[in-house]
Amino acid sequence: MSSVKDWAAPNPITENRGGLIGKGVERYEGRLKVTGSAPYAYEVEAPSRPAIGYMATASIAKGRITRIDTTAAEASPGVLLVWTHLNVPAQAPRGTRANPRSQRPSNPALAGDRIENFGQTVAFVVADTFENARAAANLIEIDYAAEQGVVDFVASFDQADQPPGEEDVHIGDFPAAFAAAPVTIDETYESPVQNHVQMEPCATTAWWDGDKVTVHTSIQMVKGGQHALAETLAIPSDHVHLMTRYIGGGFGGKGQAYDDLILSALAARALGQPVKLAYTRQQMFHGTIHRPAVSMRVRLGAQPDGRLTAFAVEAITHCARNAIFTEHAANFSRNLYAAPNRLTGHRLVKMDLPGAGPMRAPGEAPGMLSLECAMDELAEKLGLDPIELRIRNEPDVDPETGKPFSVRQLVQCMRAGAARFGWERRNPKPGQVRDGRWLVGMGMAAAIRGNFLLPAKAGVRIDADGTITLRQGMTDIGTGTYTILAQITAETMGVPMEQVKVEMGDSNFPPAPGSGGQFGAATAGSAAYEAGMNLRKALTALAVGDPNSPLYGGPAEYVTFENGNIAIENRSETLAALVARAAPDGVYV
């Protein structure tokens, strides 16, 4: 197949009769955001005046707490409670699941006297104001027995081991092929630790109604947060109502629950009033995950014509000692270029640092940068155009599995990009083009990213006034999910976007996997489309079966939805008229 379109049967989205798919439209929630009317987690209005929390954090990287004195903090003005590992309410042990179907295990806060990383939460204060809570937290006296921690990544390479459950991938005989190659590249590329630094820090507003808790929190995966809180508090998941309507950036860093979610819920229950808790900007760097540093060795062996005969990509990265995570910087390369002799793999250093985790294309971002730099260096060494080098190594089938590609358009993409950017005018010799004092270069790089779908559901209803409401437990981390789902729903139902409402970020809605990993829009959008098609079927049956409809008795297979109307050829009526007459309570699927 030469194009993605070759795989798509005609449907309302591909037909795009309303022209909404691919059209530049106003952001669905844009006006709310620019006017400050979109309530983020910390800004949600609680049912009564909330108390404010503040976390005190560890000042050592590894060790244990030997003494903690909260006397002054407890006597400080406005303080409502002070917790440490000595008096925090009971929580389920870390990593346990009472419900085997929970997406996330328990994640207790203030779980013990051990310090696993600098910035770990060691105490929690709740007061009537933020200022009083912060002032009291600064009065807590803590003594530590510090231990020598592993905090220097490069100095710890000798401790690198293969990640649990993984093996290097060997195809052919890389050592022999590399040794025999006429032209070789052997380079190591380093990328540093990176922090997400989302505009909105992690934050939660929590309150209880009887034995059920409502939390507004900033998290990318609704069900994961709901289940983590339920497991930690040892309550049924349907006793946790989690909402995350607006999120000020995620980038993978909000793919899991943190101490703000757990402590705010615990404190709200203990105090019998709502509690708000947000990480400070400084605390975000140590209290949440980061992209780990990567050292990546790339070895390429080629013939004089540029065809690769030996290909090796090996990455060393790191993670927290008790939270295993591997930045799979070599994985993507297994599908990008053809070479008969291959070696790819990873090594992991366990360190006494905050947790490592996903951040914007985890693995691919540092990995592709390293490999593409090496390919450019090989092109320069061969005296070959960088695009031509990549084209000569374009695989016909997957280089490792031998499976055919369903769609692969990298060569077309590179050629189209070259034409648009005037690649033929490029001076291949570096440092030759100037614009005043500036050196000007023109370069290119290939890229590859996983494309997959996850299970998702969506609910859609139409009311008697013709308003169509899509509900889904999806999230929008600022990347436009609200708008995407509104466009898909409107186009599927043949109505203008102004007739569509999108409600999301609620654990009571049909579940979706959330935002991340490039699966979010495709997965949520597919579920929205299927829900819309189900609603079309229900409305079609309603119309052709209603004696008062102009479509009565008509062939269902000829029904169309366009411009807010349901029609069979020249017989039509508005969706609002049909529903108001035949189903005044609305239709929901």
Secondary structure of 206-231 in HEC code, one letter for each residue:
EEEECCEEEEEECCCCHHHHHHHHHH
Bridge partners, 461 (sequence order): 469, 588
- Of all residues in the chain, what percent carry a pLDDT higher than 70? 99
Whole-angstrom Cα distance, residue 101 to residue 117? 30
Q: What is the mean pLDDT of residues 172-195?
A: 98
CA angle 181–184–188, rounded 5-degree value = 140
Q: At what angle do helices 520-544 and 481-493 cross, to 10 degrees?
A: 30
Task: List phi, psi (to 5°) of 487.
Answer: -65, -45
Bridge partners, 459 (sequence order): 471
Q: Answer yes or no: are the C-beta atoms of 411 and 394 closer than 8 Å.
A: yes
- Residue in the structure block whose two tokens are 């008969």: 340
pLDDT at position 5: 63
Residue 229: closest CA among 193, 192, 207, 258: 258
Whole-angstrom Cα distance, residue 472 to residue 460? 9
Q: Count CB neighbours of 400 within 10 A.
A: 13
Task: List phi, psi (to 5°) of 345.
Answer: 180, 175
- Residue in the structure block whose two tokens are 């770990």: 120
Query: Which one-letter amino acid corresponds to residue 307?
Result: R
| Residue 566 structure tokens | 């349901």
Confidence band for 406, pLDDT divided at 50, 70 and 90: confident
| DSSP E strand boundaries for 321-444 | 341-351, 434-435, 438-439
Strands of 560-562's sheet in order across:
560-562, 565-568, 571-574
User: How do residues 60-98 score in pLDDT, each as one tens digit?
Assistant: 999 999 999 999 999 999 999 999 999 999 999 999 999
pLDDT at position 536: 98
User: How do residues 470-504 score in pLDDT, each as one tens digit?
Assistant: 999 999 999 999 999 999 999 999 999 999 999 99
State the first-to-last Cα distance of the chain, in angstroms, to the nearest integer: 35
For residue 2, pLDDT beyond 60: no
Bridge partners, 460 (sequence order): 470
- pTM of the shown model: 0.95
pLDDT at position 237: 98
Strands 275-278, 51-57: parallel, antiparallel or unpaired by DSSP? parallel
Q: Answer yes or no: are the C-beta atoms of 150 and 159 closer than 8 Å.
A: yes
Confidence band for 8, pLDDT divided at 50, 70 and 90: low
Higher pLDDT, 125 or 11: 125
Q: Answer yes or no: are the C-beta atoms of 215 and 222 closer than 8 Å.
A: no
Residue 219 is given by DSSP the state -
Torsion of CA 224, 226, 228, 229, to 10 degrees: 160
Confidence band for 3, pLDDT divided at 50, 70 and 90: low
User: How do residues 428-440 score in pLDDT, each as one tens digit?
Assistant: 888 899 999 999 9
Domains of the chain, CATH where assigned: 4-32+454-588 (3.30.365.10), 42-147+200-287 (3.30.365.10), 154-195+291-397 (3.30.365.10)
User: How do residues 185-224 score in pLDDT, each as one tens digit?
Assistant: 999 999 999 999 999 999 999 999 999 999 999 999 999 9
Strands 565-568, 560-562: parallel, antiparallel or unpaired by DSSP? antiparallel
Whole-angstrom Cα distance, residue 276 to residue 283? 16
User: How do residues 318-377 score in pLDDT, each as one tens digit?
Assistant: 999 999 999 999 999 999 999 999 999 999 999 999 999 999 999 999 999 999 999 999
For residue 1, pLDDT beyond 50: no
SS (H, E, C) 392-406: HCCCCECCCCCCECC
Q: Count CB neighbours of 396 within 10 A.
A: 10
Torsion of CA 363, 364, 368, 370, to 10 degrees: -20
Residue 205: closest CA among 252, 270, 273: 273
User: How do residues 411-424 score in pLDDT, each as one tens digit?
Assistant: 999 999 999 999 99
Q: What is the mean pLDDT of residues 274-283?
A: 98
User: How do residues 295-323 score in pLDDT, each as one tens digit?
Assistant: 999 999 999 999 999 999 999 999 999 99
User: How do residues 536-553 score in pLDDT, each as one tens digit?
Assistant: 999 999 999 999 999 999
For residue 4, pLDDT beyond 80: no
Task: List phi, psi (to 5°) of 459.
Answer: -120, 140
Q: What is the DSSP string of 523-569?
A: HHHHHHHHHHHHHHHHHHHHHHT-TTSTTTT--GGG-EEETTEEEET
Average pLDDT, the chain: 96
